[in-house]
A and B are shown apart, each in its own frame.
Chain A
Amino acid sequence: MRARRLTGSLSCLVVLTLTAAGCGLSGGSDDGGATAGACKVDKGNVGSGKLTGDVKGTITFQTTNLKKDFGDFFNGVIADFEKAHAGAKVKWIDDPGDNTFTSRTVADAQACTMADVINVNAPTATALTKAGYLLDIGTKDPAASKPFVPSFWKTATFADAAGKSIHTTLPWYTGGVLLTYNKDLLAKADIDPAKPPTSIFGLFADYEKIAKASDGKYFATMANPIWRIPADFDQMGIKVLSSDGKSAVFGDDPRTTEWVEWMAKLYKEGAMPKDSLSSSNDPSTLYSQGKVAYGSTNPSFVRFVKQNSPSVYAKTAVGQQPYDDLGVASAGAPQYISVAATSKHAATALSFAEFLTNAENQTAWCKDPAVVIFPTTTESLNDPFFQNVTGTDPFSQARKLVADQLKTASTNQTNLSPAVQNAIVSQVQLAMQGKKSAADAVKDAQEKSNELLKQGS
Chain B
Amino acid sequence: MTAQITNPVSGAEALTSTPGPAPSPPPSRLRRLARAALPGPAPGANGAAMYRRWWLPWLWTAPAVVCAVVFGVFPFLNTVLLSFTNAKPLGGAASFVGLDNYTRMLQDDDFWLATRNSILYAVIVVPLMVLLPLMLAVLVEKNLPGIGFFRSAFYTPVLASSVVVGLSWQWLLADDGLVNTWLEKAHLIKSAIPFLSDSWLILLSAMGLTLWKGLGWYMVFYLAALGNVPKELHEAAQMDGAGAVRRFFHITVPGVRTAMMLVGTLTGIGSLRVFTEIYMLGSSTGGPGGADRTLPFYIRDVGLDPITGNAGYGSAVSVALFALTLGLTLLAQRLTKEDES
B289 sits at the interface (CB 8 A):
yes
Pair A27/B304 contact, Cβ less than 8 Å:
no
Q: Does A106 reach chain B (CB closer than 8 Å)?
A: yes
Contacts of A423 in B (CB 8 A): 290, 301
Chain B neighbourhood of A102, CB < 8 A: 306
Chain B residue total in the interface (Cβ 8 A): 48
Q: How far is the CA of A441 from the CA of B202 in the complex (A)?
A: 22
Please determine whether B307 and A2 come into contact, CB atoms closer than 8 angstroms.
Answer: no
Chain A residue nearest to B55 (CB atoms) is: A5
Quote the shortest CB–CB distance from A403 to chain B (angstroms): 32
Cross-chain contact B289 with A20 (CB below 8 angstroms)? no
Is A127 a contact partner of B307 (Cβ separation < 8 A)?
Answer: yes
**Pair B284/A422 contact, Cβ less than 8 Å:** yes
Asked if A384 CB lies within 8 Å of chain B CBs, one says: no
Judge whether B85 is part of the interface by a CB distance below 8 angstroms: yes
Residues in B whose Cβ lies below 8 Å from that of A21: 74, 77-78, 81-82
Q: How far is the CA of A437 from the CA of B217 in the complex (A)?
A: 46
A119 contacts the other chain (Cβ, under 8 Å)? no
Q: B287 to chain A: which residues have CB within 8 Å?
A: 278
Are B77 and A17 in contact (CB-based, < 8 A)? yes
Residue from the set B82, B86, B170, B196 with the largest chain A CB neighbour count within 10 Å:
B196
**Looking across the interface, which residue of chain A has its beta carbon closest to that of B198?**
A433
Interface residues of chain A: helix, strand, loop or mixed (majority): helix
Q: Does B92 touch A at the CB level, under 8 Å? A: yes
State the CA gap A126–B289 with chains docked (Å): 26
Given A419-B302, A455-B302: A226 in contact with B285 (beta carbons within 8 A) = yes
A320 within 8 Å of B (CB atoms): no
Contact A110 B307 (CB under 8 A): no
For A452, give its contact among B194, B282, B305, B306 (CB under 8 Å).
B305
- Tell me whether B194 and A18 are in contact (CB under 8 A): no
A426 touches B289 (CB 8 A): yes
Identify the interface centre among B194, B285, B302, B309: most chain A CB within 10 Å of its CB: B285
Tell me the A213-231 residues at the B interface (CB within 8 Å): 224, 226
| Contact of A280 with B283 in the complex, beta carbons under 8 Å | yes
Bound complex: CA A456 to CA B174 (Å): 37
Known: A123-B306, A456-B310. A25 touches B94 (CB 8 A): yes
B195: chain A residues at CB < 8 Å are: 275
- Does A430 sit at the interface, judged by CB under 8 A? yes
Residue of B nearest to A161 (CB): B92
Residues of A near B71 (CB, < 8 A) are none
Q: Which residues of A contact B149 (CB under 8 A)?
A: none
Q: Is the CB–CB distance between B77 and A456 below 8 Å?
A: no
Which residues of the other chain, B, contact A280 by a CB distance below 8 angstroms?
Answer: 283-284
Known: A21-B82, A106-B306. 14 other contacts (CB 8 A): A99-B284, A103-B306, A109-B90, A131-B90, A161-B92, A224-B283, A277-B288, A280-B283, A417-B306, A419-B305, A426-B285, A426-B290, A427-B289, A456-B308
Binding site for B on A (CB under 8 A): 2, 5, 9, 13-14, 17-18, 20-22, 24-27, 37-38, 99, 102-103, 106, 109-110, 123-124, 126-127, 130-131, 161, 224, 226, 273-281, 417-420, 422-423, 425-427, 429-430, 432-433, 435, 452-453, 455-456
Hey, which bits of chain B sit against chain A, CB under 8 A?
Answer: 54, 58, 69, 73-74, 77-78, 81-82, 85-94, 170, 173-175, 192, 194-197, 202, 282-290, 301-302, 304-310, 313
